Structure 1
Amino acid sequence: MKQARTIIGGILVLLLMVSPALAGTPKYVFYFIGDGLGASQRQFSEFFLRAKTHNPSRKLLMNTFEVAGINSTYAADTLITDSAAAGTALASGVKTNKGVIGKSPDGKNVKTLVEAAENDGMATGLITTTRLTHATPAAFAAHNISRDNENEIANDYLNSDVDFLAGGGIRHFIPQSEALKNTDAVGQPIKSKRKDERNLVQEFEAKGYRTFIGMQGAKAFATTDFSSVDKVFAAFTYTHLPYEIERIHQYTHLPSLARMTRAGIDVLSNDPDGFFLMVEGGRIDHAAHANDATGVIYDTIAFDDAIKAAYEFYLSHKNETLIVVVGDHETGGMGLGMDSMGYKLDLTCLMDTKVSVEDTLNYGDGQYQGDKAAYYQFLEAQFGLKNLTEDEKARLEKAMLDADAGKTVGYYQVNPAALTAAHILSQRANISWTTTIHTATMIPMSATGTAADQFSGYKDNTEIARAMAQVLGFSL
């Protein structure tokens, strides 16, 4: 009998060595959230990567993980969620109402995974390509009845003791009267959105944080050795960080999501008790709101590159690391295929695009402002819309007339010329969009590492947080 137990024990040890997914409690946890990242966004970005690299077997790393599942996303008060309710579910395992951050529907604060990790002595970090005060990161460290109360959410960050914070949104952390002389990392002036004179940047510094603000902060971030830094607060831009398609073409001095993730790892791994790090690819959602196919693709690939940074760490800590990749909801109703082009997708027409729909065509220097000839030239040179057909040109002409008349399109009141250009490019690729807002479509999930098997199968978004808490021995 003793010999049998010895043999069984040996087999179990071997199983744990061979399959980290069966192992016990992880010491290092990565929670990747692709905002708006549905199945179509993941798949089409992989197809694009294959075409761009001329490698038909190329895969996104997140699509190779051995554990996979699918998640529902509805909120407590609506079947189509927003990022606040979805973020709260992913952070705390609690269904709440649309727009609510870190609270239950009756207004009570809920405990988050970040708070539980801190109670357990772990280091914690939050990284995003949106404003730090935006819904998803806020749901892990703040508690507010409205996601729009971003100044109050900024105050919560100061009190949260999260060790590593990186993203955009400096406007909510500086005094009302302050306008920083130096620009942000995309060359925009920095002014405050606060209603008081609190300088949270200085308050972070007083608590021992190394701060990286605006253009100067972005450049310093790129050359800093983070292995000797204890705490970081980085806010590079007035609002969100730029889309990846524009970061790589215009703002190469700005740290990528992967670079921020590596810096987070360097800081947090100094803690002997391990760490919990949430990384959000937040602008995937924004691109999908604008029905911007290339915007979605480049930000999804940047998100996958950040996962690679975590995976490199995992390879050196296989029996101690868990990586979970989820989305909070799908955005845009992105479809891969339309009757007009039959059974194919055309990736080649997307290769020449260099700008985003939202930041450039809708609000930036590529916005249509009455000069039709200049707009056509810009679309050809920067957006990859060449050799317009008569039908495409007619649609753009109508959209420009609508813009001249002050009309907008969709829930978020997009410039009709910008949205029409986006739709023409998408249709050339054979991509369809059903909406400019979120959908109730279920979201793919993938995981690898210690206890990854606990995340497989069909789950509601609240079950992901609860599974993570159980794996870590936390009480939410």
Structure 2
Amino acid sequence: MFKRILRPAVLAVCISLLAVSAFAAAPKYVIYFIGDGLGPTQRMAAELFYKMETGNPDAKLVMNTFPGSALVTTYSDNTLVTDSAAGGTALSCGFKTTNGYIAKLPDGSNIKTIAEAAKENGYAVGIVTTTRLTHATPASFSAHNPDRDAENEMAIDQANSGFDFFAGGGYRHFVAKDNKMGLKSKRKDDVDVVKMFTDKGYKTFVGDSTRDAFRAYTPKKGDKVFAALTSSHLPYEVERLHSTMKENKLPSLVELTEKAIASLDAQDKPFFLMVEGGRIDHAAHAHDPMSVIMDTIAMDDAVKAAYEFYKKHPEETLIVTAADHETGGVALGISMDSKGYFLNLKALENVKVSAEDNLDRYYNKLAEKEKDVEKRHAAFIKYVEENWALTDRTPGEDKILMDAMIVQDKNQDLSMEKKVRYGYSYTPTMVAVTDLISQRARIFWTSFVHTGTFIPASAIGKGADQFTGFIDNTDIPTRMAALMNVKLSDSKKTDSKALLGKTFGPQEKYSKIPYNQ
């Protein structure tokens, strides 16, 4: 026997070839969809509504046709019911953390996101959302903070990220307090984060007045884009489709996704794109079935756009769809009598506005304008007939609406702590209307907040077989990173007994609630 010694030069070539081979085996294009609050029932309701509207019993959501499928656990480090910050961190970093933490471990140390790891490895990176860009899920991929509400700080993190594409809402956290654009700001300082982007060479689109310029923009190699088109979140899809107000005619999620894909693809390098359908969660918090369904279908339209790209690059593309948690504890076909076993989604067809952005405050605004109680009640009934299809009411339904208006009339004279409110301080009239339309559709809600149920994930493309079975949310970015040959933060040994005690024993309260404001 004898030993064969490789010369250093030969060894270097071999290592180089192995590296090239590994990179060649990695998916070149990774598109990661996250439906905030998108549980299995929300996904099913959207598909059933889609079948009804198309008149095609075989119609399916595109994401429901993907060959790889999984059920995913979502609990956080400190509770069985995660919030979007801890859920987003698990989906972006592969670690459990405390509710409210953004890309940080419970001890406060930073952990690398899959987007940051991709950028380090030469990928172009994009973030798209229907929420504020500084909201929990997009922030979990592009910022680090122990407080999900520190959106002004996380805006600066995003400006320093070096990512290639941002599109969503929330310019109020990027424009300076006294900005020359005349835009409302939530900043308490004169830091102009938009200028930070501009100084770094980004093409910026800020405010709804830039929507046409954003639509007309043709991406080119070397371009970086920052688009914050609304002060807070983008409009719900149901209002974007029905409203004649110009601010609701903003680009849809599919438009944002198509622009992101075109922009990242123009860079002639691998790319990673995270797309969030963020307002599914907000609609489910408000028990708004039509907005849940329409925003889920809007997200699926974006998935379809990614799928069209995949068909051009089937050997190089990976698409994964997931969710950070379920919201609302929604069930389909619920009946409190023996006449169940059916849904009536047709009851939702003529709903024209969202609950949270329109209905919740509508009666209060009406009360400011119309002081005559009977006229005010009549105007509200007309409103719900025209916008929520609540016609042909039963005496019981009329009583529910009237009782809600009476309670809200009394609320006008009460201090904030004595007002009758529901969920995230939702008004009695909103809850009455959403409950009635849900009952007509045979949809039932068990919670105003998140639940601990499994969420569905699906995948297609290179490495899709890694996203199957019963898995945890932390498995998704971990497996994605392995496929992409990028490195997340090093694993830290977890004290399993401590985790069990925190998560499955007596749980800490997490009292912050402005998740969707």
Q: Does the CA-based 8 Å contact 2:219-2:266 persist in structure 1?
A: no
State the shift of 1:178 in Å.
2.5
Quote the Cα distance in structure 2 between the aligned partners of 1:113 and 1:365: 44
The answer for the alignment partner of 2:435 in structure 1 is 423
CA distance in 1, matches of 2:208, 2:310: 32
Percent identical residues? 51
The answer to whether structure 1 residue 301 and structure 2 residue 275 are counterparts is no
SS in 2 for 1:445: strand
SS at match of 2:352: coil
8 Å CA contact retained: 2:220, 2:267: no
Q: SS in structure 1 opposite 2:448?
A: coil
**1:368 Cα deviation after fit:** 5.7
Structure 2-normalised TM-score?
Answer: 0.84
Partner of 1:363, secondary structure, is helix
1:459 to 471, 480, 484: 471
Match of 1:333 among 299, 310, 329: 329
Q: Does 1:445 align with 2:441?
A: no
Whether the 8 Å contact between 1:361 and 1:368 is mirrored in structure 2 is no
Distance 1:403 1:410 in 2: 12
Query: What TM-score results when the alignment is normalised by the length of structure 1?
Result: 0.91
Q: Give the corresponding residue for 2:150.
A: 149
Q: Provide the aligned length of Structure 1 versus Structure 2.
A: 446
Distance 1:50 1:158 in 2: 42
User: Counterparts of 2:180 and 2:278 in 1: how far apart (Å)?
Assistant: 26
1:14-413 equivalent positions in 2, closer than 5 A = 24-178=25-179, 180-181=181-182, 190-227=183-220, 230-250=223-243, 251=246, 253-340=249-336, 341-364=339-362, 369=367, 371-406=376-411, 407-413=419-425
3-state DSSP of counterpart to 2:72: strand
Alpha-carbon deviation of 1:363?
2.9
SS of the equivalent of 1:109 reads: coil
d(CA) in 2 for partners of 1:401, 1:308: 46
From the superposition, tell whether residues 71 and 204 of structure 1 become closer, same or farther in structure 2 (CA, over 3 Å). same
With 269-278 and 423-432 compared, the bigger mean Cα shift is at: 269-278
Q: In structure 1, which of residues 419, 432, 440 is the aligned counterpart of residue 444 of structure 2? A: 432
* Partner Cα separation in structure 1 for residue 474 and residue 365 of structure 2: 40
| Residues 1:367 and 1:30: Cα distance change in structure 2 (over 3 Å) | farther
Deviation string 1:350-383 (CA, Å, 9 cap, x unpaired) is: 1101100000101358966361111110001111
CA contact (8 A) 1:39 1:444 kept: yes
Provide the secondary structure at the position in 1 that maps to 2:232. Answer: coil
Tell me, in whole angstroms, the C-alpha distance in 2 between the residues paired with 1:180 and 1:52: 42
Distance 1:258 1:408 in 2: 39
What residue identity is the alignment partner of 1:40?
Answer: T
Query: Deviations 1:52-96 (Å, cap 9, x if unpaired)?
Result: 111111110000001101000001001100000000000000100
Q: Distance in 2 between matches of 1:440 and 1:38?
A: 10
- How far apart are 1:262 and its partner, in Å? 0.6
C-alpha change, 1:366 and 1:467, in structure 2 (3 Å) is: farther
DSSP 3-state at the match of 1:155: helix
Q: 5+ residue gaps in structure 1?
A: 1-22, 182-189
Shift of 1:213: 1.2
Q: Deviations over 1:225-255 (max 9, x none)?
A: 2246711100011111110000111256311
Shift of the 332–429 alpha-carbon distance from structure 1 to 2, 3 Å rule, reads same
SS at match of 1:160: coil
Q: 1:455 to 1:367 in 2, by over 3 A?
A: farther
Across the aligned residues of Structure 1 and Structure 2, the Cα RMSD in angstroms comes to: 1.5
Pick which of 384-393 and 87-96 moved more: 384-393
**Aligned-partner SS, 2:322:** strand
Please give the alpha-carbon distance, in whole angstroms, between the structure 1 residues aligned to 2:262 and 2:169.
20
Q: Distance in 1 between matches of 2:199 and 2:161?
A: 15
* Residues 356/253 of structure 1: CA separation in 2 closer, same or farther (3 Å cut): closer
Contact 2:363/2:380, CA 8 A, preserved across alignment: no
- The amino acid that maps onto 1:351 is E
Kept after mapping to 2: 8 A contact 1:360/1:367:
no
SS of 2:160's equivalent? helix
* CA–CA separation in structure 2 for the residues paired with 1:330 and 1:168: 23
Corresponding residue number in structure 2 for 1:474: 486
1:25 and 1:275 map into 2 onto residues whose CA distance is: 11
User: In the TM superposition, what is the alpha-carbon distance from 1:148 to its structure 2 partner?
Assistant: 0.4
Q: Distance in 1 between matches of 2:94 and 2:51?
A: 36
2: CA distance between counterparts of 1:257 and 1:293?
19
CA change 1:277–1:408 in 2 (3 A) is farther
Larger Rg: 2
Contact 1:126 1:277 in 2 (8 A): yes
TM-superposition CA deviations, 1:263-290 (whole Å, max 9, x none): 0011101233310000000000000000
* CA-to-aligned-CA distance 1:313-366 (integer Å, 9 cap, x gap): 000000000000001100000000222440000111111011000001013589
The answer on whether the counterparts of 1:24 and 1:451 sit within 8 Å (CA) in structure 2 is no
Give the letter for the 2:39 counterpart.
G
Q: Which runs of 4+ in 1 moved over 6 A?
A: none
Distance 1:429 1:228 in 2: 49
